[in-house]
Structures are given as structure tokens and as C-alpha cells.
Amino acid sequence: MKLFLLSLSILLTTSVFSQSAEYKKMLDQYYDGFPTITIEDALKHIGKKDAIFLDIREVNEYNVSHIQGATRMKPDGSTISSLNKLRKDQLIIVYCSVGARSQTFGKMLVKEGFTNVVNLYGGLFYWANMHYPLVDMKGNKTERIHGYNPDWGKWVTEGTVVY
């Protein structure tokens, strides 16, 4: 029995690390050196006024769930002008599902003169997989997350994926 439990424990641990390594390998295909922030470091700024979180997803994705206090921005950059009142050195944490769209948006912010922009490493999928809190459009806690589409939603291993 002990051998069975040990084998099961090793199998489950290997499976979790394998998925995590596979996810990180996928991220490496999209990330190009733009500055990132870890989830643990980003958490230190939740609910504080020292940083703003920008959600770079479509409205239907944002409405399902997002990081509490995040402001949704259109991925095409057409809403950047709404940030003109911010200090150019304001810490801005951008995120999307996995970090590709937010990285592109972050580069747009840098072109607009913002100097302290970072991309949330792993995006909202990684955030959800680590069991960090999400809220819906009414501000209620939720475990639902928009998977973008089935090809991308497969990376969400925790919570309920919706499309």
C-alpha cells in the first residue's frame, strides 16, 4: 500500500510539473524579452495605489473574470489615450490570457512614454491555475475564466473554463 501511495504521489507531482514546464515552454514562444513581473510580486500591489492593473482582453473575457481593481483596455490600443492622466513612471501591470496581447499592449505604452510597464508572467490563466482570486463583472469572487478558445483554454487547469 505504501508503495502504491508513493507511486501515485510521484505520478501526480510529475504530472503537475510537466504541465507547468509545458506551459512555460509555450510562453517562451510568445515572450520576447519585454519586462515581466511574477504573480507573487504582482500580488503585493493588489488593492494599493502604487500600481494599476490593466486587463488587455475583449469585454466578454473581462466580464467573466478579471483581477480585482483591473481596468479593461482594448487590445488594439485604441483606449491608451484614457491613461494620459497617469504619471509616466506609474507602475503599470498589464495582463491578458497568457501574456501575448498584453506584451504587445505594453510595448504601445512604452512608445507613449510610460517607463514602468511590466507584463504579468503567465497571464490570467497562470493566475487562475495558482488559485489566486478573480472577480466577475459585478465584483463577486468567481472561479470562472474565459478560455479565449479551446486551443488556448486547455492551459487553464483550475476553475471553470467558459467560452
Higher-confidence residue of 125 and 4: namely 125
| CATH number at 34-162 | 3.40.250.10
The grid coordinates listed for 74 are 482594448
How far apart are alpha carbons 47 and 37 in whole angstroms?
17
Give 66's DSSP letter. B
The stretch 145-160 carries a mean pLDDT of 95
132 to each of 47, 67, 79, 115, 121, how far by Cα in Å?
Answer: 14, 9, 27, 27, 14
Q: What is the pLDDT of residue 2?
A: 52
The stretch 115-126 carries a mean pLDDT of 98
Between β-strands 71-72 and 134-135, what pairing exists: parallel, antiparallel or unpaired? unpaired
Domain ranges of the chain: 1-30, 34-162
Q: Is 162 exposed, middle or buried (0-12, 13-18, 19+ CB in 10 A)?
A: middle
For 85-102, what is each residue's pLDDT tens digit?
A: 999 999 999 999 999 999
The stretch 23-46 carries a mean pLDDT of 96
